[in-house]
Amino acid sequence: MSLFRNLFAFLLAAVFVVTHSVAKEVVEADKDGVRLVLGTSTVPETVGDMVPVRVIFEKIPLRAGDNLMVFADTQLAYVISSIGGFLLREFSGRVRMNQGALEVVVSRSDGTATKLSQRIAIDRPYLIPEEGEATKEFKVRGKGNTIELIHRNRMARTNYVEHMYIVVPAGALAISMTPYSSGTFAYYKIEAEHSLEGHNIELRLATKRSDSQR
């Protein structure tokens, strides 16, 4: 167990170091004060199992009653909701894509919605694993208004992480996900308009198999 912990700590450090160097193409879209960044930096190929996505709220943060939905190749990967006084400024995660088409939808509590989309070329396709270990183990580090986190769940069709909750004194962030979010070096960065220190994080596994198709 200690060997695994040491290995996982090493992998955590490696992911934090290379997290901005896992795709060869960067595309962006900007609308209504929301910026979408798909892909990062430059390496030989874009791996479909771990495509980086950033959604930045440059004007109005995601706040109570708002939702952010992320679709990878038309498949729902994430639903992110702010609760209480949680003010989200940036969400970074990874998705699985083969066609390279990504769309985000920001739904505000007043009924307005913002849609952004982009596309990149995928060099190495993926397959969602059929079976996965029922693990909720994760590592996190953070300071001030930023948290970085990785988990070791494979995001297979069984036993995948379906919900992640980040609770801080200001409020909470609820992140629902599917196997179309990445299970290979799954990396998340959360940036808020307030302190995230004193956070409590909980992961919950799916109780039913995901049968959605690529």
Can you tell me the distance from the alpha carbon of 108 to that of 135, in angstroms, rounded to the nearest whole number?
33
C-beta of residue 137 within 8 angstroms of C-beta of residue 131: no
DSSP 91-139: EEEEE--SS-EEEEEEE-TTS-EEEEEEE---SB-----S-------EE
Q: Please state the pTM of the whole predicted model.
A: 0.88
Q: Which domains does the chain have, with CATH numbers?
A: 2-205 (2.60.40.10)
- Tell me: the pLDDT tens digits for 99-153? 999 999 999 999 999 999 999 999 999 999 999 999 999 999 999 999 999 999 9
- Tell me: the pLDDT tens digits for 190-212? 999 999 999 999 999 999 999 86
Residue with tokens 């930096």: 41
- Tell me: the pLDDT tens digits for 160-197? 999 999 999 999 999 999 999 999 789 999 999 999 99
- Tell me: the pLDDT tens digits for 15-42? 544 444 455 789 999 999 999 999 976 5
C-beta of residue 103 within 8 angstroms of C-beta of residue 115: yes
